[in-house]
Structure 1
Amino acid sequence: MDSVLVMIDHPDRPRQDPAEALRPEDAADPQVLVNDLGITRGDGIFEVAGSVDGRVHALQAHLDRFARSARLMDLPAPDQPVYRAAVHTALGRLAARLPGRELSCKFIMTRGLEYPPGAHGPTGWAVAMIAPDYRPQRRAGIVVVTLDRGVRRDVMQTSPWLLAGAKSLSYAVNRSVVREAVRRGADDTLLVSSDGYVLEGPSASFLALIDGEVVTPPASDGVLPGTTQADAFAWFAQQGIPTRVRSIDCEELAGVRSAWLTSSTRLAAPIRELDGRPLDFDPDLTARLNEHLLGRDG
């Protein structure tokens, strides 16, 4: 089987030896109860880390963002050493069977059982799998359309209960906007705020070359802080290309020369067309960026 599952006993409970919390299981067998709130309500958090040949990309950044999502959702703090051990165990076992393949590991924590409430604490697991083949998108680019998310960019300040910026298991809307993009003849979506600011993709950060700088929106605008975006910015800086985190007015999109959507498994996909307007992209620059992203270890 092309996946490896590691269940985590009491994922919020620190212990001296993290391996004591891990239970490798057959991914084809049932493991989660039907009244788990992660299943019935999408009440939980997750992260996805990419990996090649045992190197896990930006794992600490993913663990930190995992903890941030838990705080935003009033969940117990996930034990980072336990999750780190689970991710390495799952990916290590799969990489031994599939050397050289691009893999990913999704790690999850739910609020636990709906009834009796709180009886067993949160549910946790990590599952390693073969990553989708995004090489064609990295080379040829993607077609993107903008869609309105229906909230203002200051939603984190005005309505924190809407959980903007949390990587929640409630992903129905994120999948819905991709289906809408496909209906419009595109590959993916760039979400914008109701008051006219650029946000993010449904599962990716947005990076744009504007006036000689690579720019991305800040987390305070209700977007998920991008782990791949952060590593891409560090690489751009090494190449002497200025970067900046700031709000992007939708009117600025008309002047964007080049742009990317970045995520943990797709890495950096250049946008070749945005709302019907062709964009330029440098295949060599993007290839070198993705080579760097594939070589990360963290």
Structure 2
Amino acid sequence: MSASALALFTFDSAGSATGYRLVDPAQPALTVTELAATRGDGVFETVGLHEGHPIKAARHFERFAQSVRMLDLPAQDWTIWDAALHEVAAALDLDPSSEGWVKMVLSRGIEGGTTPTGWAYATASASTASVRADGLRVVLLDRGYRHDIAQTAPWLLQGAKTISYAVNRSAYREAARRDADDVVFVSSDGYLLEGPTSTLVLRTGMTLRTTRTDAGILAGTTQAELFEWAAGNGYETTYELLTPADLAAADAAWLVSSVRLAAPIRAVDGTPKPVDAALTASFTAHLHSLAG
């Protein structure tokens, strides 16, 4: 047992994983010519853990496979990745109240090579309970793309979960400069998109709303689970083209993701927003129930 765990994958000549081995996460594991490091050429998924168990891994593998296809990476045997996910999660020394996550990465491999590189890294994380209780202050930032960028320029890979995260990290620094915690991106033609690492969900009355997945955003695994729960608990759910005015008028709003789960938005560009604590608690309980 340890505070982190790492599995490295082996691949066949077609680039599909054939197995994995656990290695010491404190020792070097990648070469300096690895394209994940030098080009950001790869995809990943991060799966949250509750009481040491992955939360709804199946949805993550569906999205992982989609990202793999979008980057023309080799198709994978996801049963092997799933086994590694559960083994590194089980190797963590977590008490029942601790939180954690597993990040799975598939890159194009070493520069000039023909074999991909893959790994699954598990670690404990700081508790996100306070974020769910207190909420986030967000700012709206222009992403610089129209909302239809996925259709007009598919080579920009909008909607794939790539490891090229420099822009997302820059957005967080800009949020901090504006005395905020997080970001909601807005398209250049005025539509709400997503957070750097999250999906936007609004509540208007008894309707939960989120941005359409054809608007150049990543399909949210946590959002999808919450919408399934909501549909069985008296809520309508819609996928729309949303505007900043919709966010301002909404009764409540969240940024949802695999690690923080449902983090309520308590202010937008400095304007306070009501927090729906009861629904946030219901969201959290439902997501925790999916761990296994």
* TM-score, normalised with respect to structure 1: 0.93
Q: Deviation of residue 14 (structure 1)? A: 5.7
For residue 5 of structure 1, what is the aligned residue in structure 2?
Answer: 6
Q: Which position in structure 1 is the counterpart of 2:95?
A: 99
Q: Is the 8 A contact 1:55 1:296 kept in 2?
A: no
How far the C-alpha of 1:275 sits from its partner, in A, is 1.5
**Amino acid in the other structure paired with 2:4:** S
Question: 1:74 is matched with which residue?
Answer: 72
Task: Indicate yes or no: 2:280 matched with 1:277.
Answer: no
C-alpha root-mean-square deviation of aligned residues, in Å?
1.4
- Is this contact kept in 2: 1:132–1:265, CA < 8 A? no
Residue 18 of structure 1 is matched in structure 2 by: none
Runs of 4+ with deviation above 4 angstroms: none
Matched letter for residue 34 of structure 1 = V
How many residue pairs are counted as aligned between the two chains?
Answer: 288
Matched, 1:46 2:44: yes
> Secondary structure of the residue that 1:9 maps to in structure 2?
strand
For residues 255-266 of structure 1, the aligned pairs below 5 Å read: 255-266=249-260
For residues 164-243 of structure 1, what are the structure 2 equivalents within 5 Å?
164-210=158-204, 212-243=206-237
CA offset digits 1:241-261 (Å, max 9, x no partner): 211112113332331221000
Residue 220 of structure 1: SS of its match in structure 2?
A: coil
Structure 2: stretches of 5+ with no match in the other structure: none
Which among 106, 110, 114 is matched to residue 107 of structure 2?
Answer: 110
1:19-168 aligned within 5 A: 21-94=19-92, 97-100=93-96, 101-115=98-112, 117-118=113-114, 121-168=115-162
- Give 1:40 shift: 0.3
Distance 1:225 1:84 in 2: 20
- 1:239 Cα shift? 2.2
How far apart are residue 77 of structure 1 and its match? Answer: 1.5
CA contact (8 A) 2:192 2:242 kept: yes
The equivalent position to 2:285 in structure 1, one of 263, 282, 291, is 291
Query: In structure 1, how many angstroms separate the alpha carbons of the residues matched to 2:251 and 2:183?
Result: 18
Spell out, residue by residue over 1:204-256, the C-alpha distance to the aligned partner (whole angstroms, 9 max, x if none). 00001135411001210011011110111122222212111121133323312
State the shift of 1:279 in Å: 1.2
Structure 1's unaligned 5+ residue stretches are 16-20
Work out the CA distance in 1 between the residues paired with 2:121 and 2:75: 20
* Structure 1 pair 27–171 and aligned structure 2 pair: CA distance change class (3 A): same
CA contact (8 A) 1:7 1:126 kept: yes
